[in-house]
Amino acid sequence: MHELSICQALLTQVSEIARRHAGNNVGRIVVAVGPLSGVEPSLLAAAFRLARSGSCAAKAELRFEPAPVRVRCRECGAESECRPNRIFCADCGGYRIEVVSGDELRLLRIELSATDDVPHRPPSERTN
């Protein structure tokens, strides 16, 4: 399943970041999904619910932010933004373009929540 392997890669990235920030409870994961990425957000969300169990993001919410489609024109060299179903140069109307962005799936940010399951200091450590 394509989406599941994407989620696993995402979670590897997330757990690395969480570890670096000494966080062990990921509250939210925000990803940008380009319209040309071929990734269906609803399928990705379903796969995420399977993939997250047992990870530091077991309770995390996955959020999507739309990513714009940007193209570079081979005719006039202009770079412009366009709609995923109308891909042409905004400057000259040329169709000979290359996609600059919009076909990616990118981790934008993660939000680490303050953990409440840190082991409490055992009473024996208290000094009397």
Residue ranges binding Zn ion (CB under 5 A): 73, 75-76, 78, 89, 91-92, 94
CB 34 → Zn ion: shortest distance, Å? 21
Q: How far apart are the first and last CA of the chain?
A: 58
- Unique residue bearing structure tokens 């796969």: 47
Q: Which is nearer to Zn ion, 59 or 95 (CB)?
A: 95
Nearer to Zn ion, 35 or 94 (CB): 94
- Cβ 97 to Zn ion shortest distance, Å: 7
**How far is it, in rounded angstroms, from Cα 94 to Cα 117?**
57
Minimum distance between the CB of residue 70 and Zn ion, rounded to whole angstroms? 13
Q: Which is nearer to Zn ion, 56 or 97 (CB)?
A: 97
Min separation Cβ 73 and Zn ion, Å: 3
Separation between Cα atoms, residue 13 and residue 109, nearest integer Å: 11
Give buried/exposed letters for 4-31 (b at 16+ CB in 10 A, else e): eebbbebbeebbebbeeeebebbeebeb
* Of 31 and 97, CB closest to Zn ion: 97
Q: What's the rounded Cα separation, in Å, for the pair 88 and 41? A: 25
